[in-house]
Structure 1
Amino acid sequence: MLQLRGTLCEKSFIVALAALAATASFAQSTVTISGLVDASYHAVSGNGTTATTKLNSISTSVGSATSAINLNVLEDLGGGMKAQAFYAFDPRANINNSTNGIGRHEAYVGLSGGFGNLRLGSINTASLLANGAGNVFGTATGGAYANTETAAGGQIRFNNSLRYDTPSFSGFSANVTYSPGNKDATSGGAAPQFTDVGLSYSNGPLNVVFSSVTRSAYVAQGALAIVSQVGSTVNGYAAVTAGVKTTYNLLGANYAIGNAKVFAAYGDGDKSGTGGVDSKLARVGATYTMGAVTLLGQYSELELGTAAKRKATGLRADYALSKRTAAYAGYEAYDSGATSANKINTAMVGLRHSF
């Protein structure tokens, strides 16, 4: 029996997905539903925690992979050209009983063919691909992604963006993502432009990805304001945030050797780090598979300006119950480099299933 629980919006969305999948065979487009759901019991400790961050609970805010349910629609236009619509939503808020509704990951529409692949919407960046190539844990627990990669200047995706990928030539490919932002200060919401350029090489055991993301200088305004109450304004709007031009370059790579795979990454940012300071990131890691067991380990260091180095160590063991289901146990130790309140440790056990 199918039981639907949640808000009316969520019920309607799930019913719509089921109806779409049921009628896909009668349409000219091909509809595929896939995804991954990951949940873990985690315990957070250390002198860098607070009352709100020192948690012991079942959740998917941490784990071995990002949960997502993907809806992919393809239509063959003939002549080697295809049209695509893709939408990925995040079920984690419902899993951990959050009051938030269904979230979103990638969402775009595009055309592909002999010319390459052109997509419009909210598309994953080359910066995220480079992180995946050189990060054992990706964005999951173990790599301290938010405190290292994001803090250094790495980007996941931009809303209202356009991305073009070239065809692959002997393992080489390139892509560029552009997000125009909103440069109209009179609207009260000026936002920066982003340009993300990526180069990839994949051949046999070697995978290498380089990315360079640039953010324009900007001044974002808030609501209409009276000068005597707020201070300086731009076209009647209070100037609430400002940012300088930033650049973040990342090189990530991995190489398979038998049952082992080694990972390495190096990032260099010009005023891309937290607070508009220069950043340098270094990371090494490895995985090793023994039958149903895969062991993962990694060490990362990040320099942000003149502050002490941030350090992250991650360990995890996965046990494959099948090709699509795995149980795991992991640990992440993060040190901010501060003289006090500097350590956050996360221990977890969990289960994930892909479909």
Structure 2
Amino acid sequence: MSIYGVIMKKNLLALALLGSISGLACAQSNVTIYGIVDTGFIKETGSDGRMGENINNRIGFRGSEDLGSGYKATFQLEKRFNLNDGTISGVDWEGASNLGISSPFGAVRLGRLNELPTETFRTLDPFNQFGVGSMLLSSQRSTRLSNTVRYDSPNLSGFKLGATYSLGKNTNSDSIATGDIPMKNQGADNDGYAISVKYDNGGVSALANWSRLADSNDSSVWNLGGAYSFGPAKISLGYEKTHDKGWKLGSVKSGKRSSQDNWLLGLVYQLGAGRINASFSYMDIDHSSKWNGSKDIKKYSLGYEHKLSKRTTLYGMVSWSDFENGQVADFYRGSSADDSVTGVQVGITHKF
């Protein structure tokens, strides 16, 4: 065999080896690193000015492996932190820590995940339930759930369905029977459930949710709402009903035992690279064990966002909350709250 033939044979072997290595690489997990960094200044009535965030700061890792026939193994790990001082927010992997399988029939994930009602209902709020402009929040609101299995359906002609099941802390007959928080003795050691229905068809969207947090003494929340987009504007309307029985995720919240009705009206208006956000939130609280009759809160919010680029945004917002009296201010914000609170927030967000 000529020298030329030997060289060609070696080149072909090298190409074949490279091809097999490439095939192995394709079978590995595809991992995406992403995050948000956000900071600014906040000033509210009765409080000193402080540095804080609007959107939660985070760094995350999201990946998948193609299993063939439309199936994928998926995972997500997300850490939340405070940008202004570098400290960790919540548990080590506060944002997410889950593993699952996606398929043509939907996705199933296990671990720590977003709560369905919060994830969907917050889209009706022009401020996405962030910052001083956020709508008034239920005392049973929770952003993420641990020890949870979650199912998300594929898109079914504009409809998407979701469901979660969360284990409570009491996993045997004695685990929470005694101690500082005797959940079992007080009947508060229930498992958690949630169902969600969403519809999105161009300019029209609607949603409905029902949830019961784990270890909440069977407290429950349901909500519904929708949004309509036309030209540069979008209007949204939502209603939420909360039955708080004095517990939340295993912690005693006896001072919050109440029934709450919460309404939200929102408006978003695009102005080129800018966006105006406005909302009115109204909450009626029936705290009959301590109050004589129900009391209400009204909150008005106005904000502006301006995109400097695809990833970087400047923002500013102002809100005014009007509490019926000191009792309801104490219920919602704590003993130092004033009967009315004005909040101002400015800052910058970068997504990567």
What is the TM-score when the length of structure 1 is the normalising length?
0.76
Q: Which residue of 1 aligns with 2:347?
A: 350
Return the offset for 1:40: 1.0
Q: Which residue of 2 aligns with 1:230?
A: none
Q: Return the match for 2:113 from 113, 123, 126.
A: 123
Percent of aligned pairs sharing the same letter: 25
Q: Which residue of 2 aligns with 1:73?
A: 63
Counterparts of 1:1-355 in structure 2, within 5 Å, are 28-45=28-45, 49=46, 54-60=47-53, 63=54, 65-92=55-82, 95-97=83-85, 100=88, 104-145=94-135, 148-151=136-139, 153-183=140-170, 184=172, 186-188=174-176, 190=183, 191-215=189-213, 244-271=217-244, 275-305=256-286, 306-339=293-326, 341-355=338-352
Which deviates more, 335-344 or 203-212? 335-344
Any idea what the Cα deviations from partners look like across 1:134-156, whole Å, max 9, x if unmatched? 211112124445xx3232x3332
- Measure the CA separation in 2 of the matches of 1:299 and 1:185: 46
- Measure the CA separation in 2 of the matches of 1:127 and 1:186: 31
- Measure the CA separation in 2 of the matches of 1:36 and 1:332: 24
Return the offset for 1:326: 1.0
Q: Which residue of 1 aligns with 2:16?
A: none
Residue type of the alignment partner of 2:80: D
Return the offset for 1:338: 1.7
Return the offset for 1:27: 6.9
- Measure the CA separation in 1 of the matches of 2:213 and 2:41: 37
Query: What SS class does the counterpart of residue 123 from structure 2 fall into?
Result: helix
Return the offset for 1:133: 2.6
Query: What SS class does the counterpart of residue 28 from structure 1 fall into?
Result: coil
Query: What SS class does the counterpart of residue 131 from structure 1 fall into?
Result: helix
5+ unaligned residues in a row in structure 1: which ranges?
Answer: 1-24, 219-242
- Measure the CA separation in 2 of the matches of 1:74 and 1:56: 43
Larger Cα Rg: Structure 1 or Structure 2? Answer: 2
Any idea what the Cα deviations from partners look like across 1:162-206, whole Å, max 9, x if unmatched? 101122210112111110213335223754311011011111112
Change (3 A) 1:272 1:100: same
State the structure with bigger RCO (CA 8 A, min sep 6), 1 or 2.
Answer: 1
**Residues 31 and 72 of structure 1 are in contact (CA less than 8 Å); yes or no, is this contact kept in structure 2?**
yes
5+ unaligned residues in a row in structure 2: which ranges?
Answer: 1-24, 184-188, 247-254, 287-292, 330-337
Residue type of the alignment partner of 1:187: S
Residue type of the alignment partner of 1:83: A
* Count of aligned pairs between the two proteins: 292
- Measure the CA separation in 2 of the matches of 1:39 and 1:67: 8
Query: What SS class does the counterpart of residue 121 from structure 1 fall into?
Result: strand
Which deviates more, 164-173 or 127-136? 127-136
Any idea what the Cα deviations from partners look like across 1:54-98, whole Å, max 9, x if unmatched? 1212222xx2x2222221011001110001110111132xx2216
Residue type of the alignment partner of 2:99: V
- Measure the CA separation in 1 of the matches of 2:138 and 2:86: 24
- Measure the CA separation in 1 of the matches of 2:159 and 2:134: 30
What is the TM-score when the length of structure 2 is the normalising length?
0.76
Change (3 A) 1:29 1:317: same
Return the offset for 1:208: 1.6
Residue type of the alignment partner of 1:351: I
**Residues 237 and 266 of structure 2 are in contact (CA less than 8 Å); yes or no, is this contact kept in structure 1?**
yes
